[in-house]
Amino acid sequence: MTPSLPYLLAILAIVFVIDFTLRALPFKILEPLRDSRFVEDMAVWMPPGIMLILVLSTLSHNAQAAGERWWAALVATGITVAVHLLSGRKLLWSVGIGTVCYIALLNWL
């Protein structure tokens, strides 16, 4: 049995409202706190902290999964960091080149 068009439209409307609310709510909550020292500190420390957690998680997973090829993830991470710092912190370049480097190391060495 196929759902009716009004039913599907109602579901889409509900999903849209929930999605929009969840995306807009943090901005509304943080609006009065914009000048807060805590929010300023979090803006500085959260991005590198999250990246550090992601890198450590990825490297530990690769070290366990890749066996003898753990060095490929380590080399690709080093190249990613170097490209990121040398290219003026262009995220797309560093992630793209690091990914290509990792895939190349796994496939050709």
Q: Does residue 26 belong to any structural domain of this protein? A: no
Domains identified in the chain, total number: 1
Greater confidence, 64 or 49? 49
CA distances from 34 to 21, 22, 23, 43, 55 (A): 20, 19, 17, 10, 29
Residue-wise pLDDT for 51-74, tens only, equals: 899 888 888 887 777 677 788 888
Specify if 93 maps to a domain.
Answer: yes
Q: Report yes or no on 20 lying in a domain.
A: no
Residue 101 and residue 79 in contact, taking contact as beta carbons nearer than 8 Å = yes
Look up the pTM and report it. 0.58
In a domain? residue 56: yes
Provide the percentage of residues in the chain whose pLDDT is more than 70: 99
- What tokens does 56 get? 């450590």
Residue 1: inside a domain: no
Contacts of 87 (CB under 8 A, 6+ apart): 93, 94
Q: Is 89 part of a structural domain of the chain?
A: yes
Among 9-13, 19-23, 29-33, 74-78, where is mean pLDDT lowest? 29-33
In a domain, residue 73? The reply is yes
What residues make up the domain containing 59?
52-108
Residue 42 lies in a domain: no
